[in-house]
Structure 1
Amino acid sequence: MAILNWIYVITIILYSGSLIGYFIDFIQHNRKVNRVAFWLLSIVWVLQTVFFVFRMIEYNRLPILTPFEGLFFYAWILVSLSLVINWYFRVDFLVFFTNSVGFLMMALSLFTPTGDVPQQLSDLLISELLVIHVTMVLLSYGAFTVAFAFSIMYVMQHQMLKRKLWGKRLLRLGSLSKLDRLAFVSTVVAFPLLLVGLILGLVWASIKLPQMPWVDAKVLGSLGVLLIYGYYLYQRVVKQIRGYSVALMNVAAFLIVLINYFLSGNFSEFHLWY
């Protein structure tokens, strides 16, 4: 549909305008610009939702299976989470850091094929189990991104306190204990989503594929993500370690998520569509 192309272009433009507004607010503490950026982002969410629904009608399926759709849905999740969390918790700068990743996903989707799943794969891929698997994995990535944003804010706050850089930005970042707690809660939500999503993916593979892809790059990468976040939770819950070190661990873990999302797919024979 030609209208989808226009919706997509307008969404990208408004998204970039919102991100610029949040950046100006981050640098200059401009509340008026912050409000404009918030409403622009709200419009972006509406347009993304409309695009998502129209594409679902056009292809008669949940549009999350192609690389383009995966990136778009990931960005939609980040916009949704950041707006909801900011509405309830009023965490300054969370929207800026989270949607910096979200806009990157939208920008990268410009360079991916926008068509439907290839015909030869459609029968293999379209099933309720696969849709639930992909949805849960992407939701977990969204929650991991929020945890990453909180951890980045914690690291910034810690460094500013250490260097005695007092000012409005320091106050707006929030307390260290609050940032640490919210990063932990986001990770606690994301971890079981990823675990269940991977289990469902393996169940689907055992049904649809001739043999289980245990040594596939995407499978190994996803298990690596589970292990590093599992170690983070072990340090946080069992050993009761809090603060700067686990915040850095959360940041490093998210970098593994990005590597798994973008790089391991290039070497995967299992995730040909994604």
Structure 2
Amino acid sequence: MQNANWIYDTTIILYALSIIGYFIDFLQNNRKANRIAFWLLSIVWVLQSVFFVQRMVEMGRPPILTPFEGLFFYAWILVTLSLVLNWFFRIDFLVFFTNVLGFLIMSINLFAPGERVSDEMSTRLISELLVIHVTMAFISYGTFTLSFIFSIMYLLQHRLLKQKKWNKRLQRLGSLSTLERLSYGLNITGVPILLLSLILGVIWAFLKVQDFSLLDAKVISSFVVIAVYSIFLYQKVARGLQGKTLAVWNTAAFLIVLINYFLASTLTEFHFWYQ
């Protein structure tokens, strides 16, 4: 486990250096700093993957059950998605904004208590349904997070254009149409993934959890998230809403995701199985 801790600590240090590089690039349009930051982030992704696999081998299960493991997996998804999207669309500041959030998550995880799932509980809980449910849920959270960041970039770009601040930073943020399209596309992806995750989660809970209730806080808040993003999609598709109003709506929707993950998780009756 000590090796795993060394990998985690090294990842945090390289992550911080990568963020510093992207921050220098953001302020000075420094392409050299951007390239160094990108390769540092790529190393971070490799180390995160190694840490995840090593933990899985040591525990004999997918490391996704505890809050520490969940947040780490979430941070890994953010790094992965940001690198993939930047490879295809070359939106430099997306990587910067996304990984500031990812770095904060991994840093917070340093102070997370060392929860442990007992062998008996692990054997009883782990199933294909649970693994797929949790994995799909975090993937949907990752897509909603990047969609939120695109909306923030849209609002920043909109403000710079309104103030007529023509500079290289404005060009590298991406066009308004591209930012809106990618934000919308990520939500289209995230909503069905989260819905399928919830269906699988409910099926698993009925099979494995005694006294399971659909009125559980986590279940209710998860369906609220789907409802909010479904309304977002309806506003876009059926009513033709676009621009700043849609970006603000998407930003507010992501706050519901945060409430669902952090607040509702403290009120749930059955999502705590670690000790």
Same fold (TM over 0.5): yes
Q: What's the counterpart of residue 202 of structure 2? A: 202
User: Who is 1:46 aligned against?
Assistant: 46
With over 3 angstroms needed to count, the CA separation of the structure-2 counterparts of 1:117 and 1:209, relative to structure 1, is same
> Residue type matched to 1:22 in 2?
Y
User: Does 2:76 match 1:76?
Assistant: yes
Q: Secondary structure at the match of 2:5?
A: helix
Identify the range of structure 1 (108-117 vs 195-204) with the bigger mean alpha-carbon deviation: 108-117
Please give the alpha-carbon distance, in whole angstroms, between the structure 2 residues aligned to 1:191 and 1:162.
32
Name the aligned partner's letter for residue 155 of structure 1. Answer: L
Query: Residues of 1 paired with 2:58 and 2:114: CA distance?
Result: 13
CA separation of 1:144/1:217 partners in 2, compared to 1, >3 Å: closer, same or farther? same
CA distance in 1, matches of 2:136, 2:49: 18
- What does the per-residue CA deviation read over 1:85-127, in whole Å, with 9 as the maximum and x for residues that have no partner? 1011101200011112211221121122335313463243211
**1:208 Cα deviation from its structure 2 partner:** 0.9
Name the residue aligned to 2:9. 9
Tell me the amino acid that sits aligned with residue 233 of structure 1: L
- SS of the residue corresponding to residue 85 of structure 1 reads helix
Residue 27 of structure 1 and its aligned partner are, at CA, apart by: 1.4
Tell me how many residue pairs correspond in the alignment. 274
CA distance in 2, matches of 1:15, 1:213: 41
Residue 264 of structure 1 aligns with which residue?
264
SS at match of 1:270: coil
**Match in the other structure for 1:229:** 229
Q: Confirm or deny: 8 A CA contact 1:213 1:270 kept in the other structure.
A: no
| Structure 2 alignment gaps of length 5 or more | none
Map Cα deviations across residues 201-255 of structure 1 (whole Å, 9 max, x no partner).
0000111122332121111111111111011000011111111111111111111
Closer, same or farther: CA 151–235 of 1 in aligned 2, 3 Å: same
Match of 1:159 in 2: 159
What is the Cα deviation at residue 41 of structure 1? Answer: 0.2
Q: Could you tell me which amino acid in structure 1 is paired with residue 210 of structure 2? A: P
* Structure 1 unaligned regions, length at least 5: none
* Residue equivalent to 2:124: 124
Contact 1:59–1:116 (Cα < 8 Å) also in 2: no
Q: TM-score, normalised by structure 2?
A: 0.96
RMSD of aligned C-alpha atoms?
1.3
CA contact (8 A) 1:67 1:273 kept: no
Query: Which residue of 2 is the match for residue 191 of structure 1?
Result: 191
What residue identity is the alignment partner of 2:97? F
Residue number in structure 1 paired with 2:173? 173
- What code does the residue aligned with 1:251 have? T
Distance 1:111 1:216 in 2: 28
Name the amino acid aligned to 2:124.
Answer: L
What is the identity, as a one-letter code, of the residue corresponding to 2:192?
P
Question: Within 2, Cα distance between the matches of 1:198 and 1:111?
Answer: 29
The share of aligned pairs that are identical, in percent, is 61
SS of the residue 2:92 aligns to:
coil
Q: 2:214 is matched with which residue?
A: 214
